[in-house]
């Protein structure tokens, strides 16, 4: 099953101006992976990219009903402190998921990293939205590379900065 599984990792804060491009890339990469035999897609349920990825899988399930969305959640109270609108979106994703795995009952130090490692360890492919060289997303991408996963970067490349004049 691992060879048929893709996980997602990415930042929580994404510029609104990039939403359309990210959704387009997500759809294209997910569809490409489906044609290569990937059937299971794991997301961590966080705000931002995780949510976008989960909704992309839900969209793809209309055309490819055999694929599955698996939510791997760090704790049952992950949404503590979230705004009402974000909790509503989270609950939609929970309803649409084919499987939900909770790694602990309550938030504890390291539970997010445990979730990320679990996602990577059960996957052959990782689709990421990485724009910063530090933080949880960077750690997860490095871990995925270390574990030999195919890593697909969908963040737009940084803007070209011309060299200073001579």
Query: pLDDT tens track of the chain, all 166 residues?
Result: 899 999 999 999 999 999 999 999 999 999 999 999 999 999 999 999 999 999 999 999 999 999 999 999 999 999 999 999 999 999 999 999 999 999 999 988 989 999 999 999 999 999 999 998 889 999 999 999 999 999 999 997 654 444 555 5
Contacts of 49 (CB under 8 A, 6+ apart): 8, 9, 10, 11, 12, 14, 22, 129, 137
Say if domain 2-153 classifies as CATH 3.40.50.450.
Answer: yes
Per-residue confidence (pLDDT) for residue 72, from 0 to 100: 97
Instruction: Output the six-digit token pair for 128.
Output: 């990421």
Per-residue confidence (pLDDT) for residue 83, from 0 to 100: 95
pTM: 0.91
Per-residue confidence (pLDDT) for residue 160, from 0 to 100: 47
Per-residue confidence (pLDDT) for residue 164, from 0 to 100: 53
Question: How buried is 125 (Cβ within 10 angstroms: 0-12 exposed, 13-18 middle, 19+ buried)?
Answer: buried
Per-residue confidence (pLDDT) for residue 163, from 0 to 100: 52
Per-residue confidence (pLDDT) for residue 156, from 0 to 100: 74
> What residues are paired with 150 via a beta bridge?
125
């Amino acid at each position: 099953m691992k060879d048929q599984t893709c996980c997602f990792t990415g930042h929580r804060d994404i510029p609104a101006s990039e939403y359309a491009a990210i959704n387009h890339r997500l759809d294209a990469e997910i569809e490409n992976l489906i044609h290569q035999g990937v059937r299971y897609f794991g997301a961590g349920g966080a705000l931002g990219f995780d949510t976008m990825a989960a909704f992309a899988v839900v969209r793809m399930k209309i055309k490819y009903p055999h694929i599955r969305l698996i939510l791997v959640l760090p704790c049952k109270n992950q949404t503590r402190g979230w705004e009402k609108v974000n909790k509503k979106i989270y609950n939609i994703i929970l309803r649409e998921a084919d499987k939900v795995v909770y790694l602990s009952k309550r938030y504890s130090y390291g539970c997010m990293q445990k979730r990320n490692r679990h996602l990577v360890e059960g996957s052959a492919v990782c689709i990421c939205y990485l724009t910063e060289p530090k933080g949880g997303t960077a750690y997860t991408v490095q871990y995925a590379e270390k574990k030999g996963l195919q890593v697909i970067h969908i963040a737009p490349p940084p803007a070209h900065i011309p060299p200073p004049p001579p």
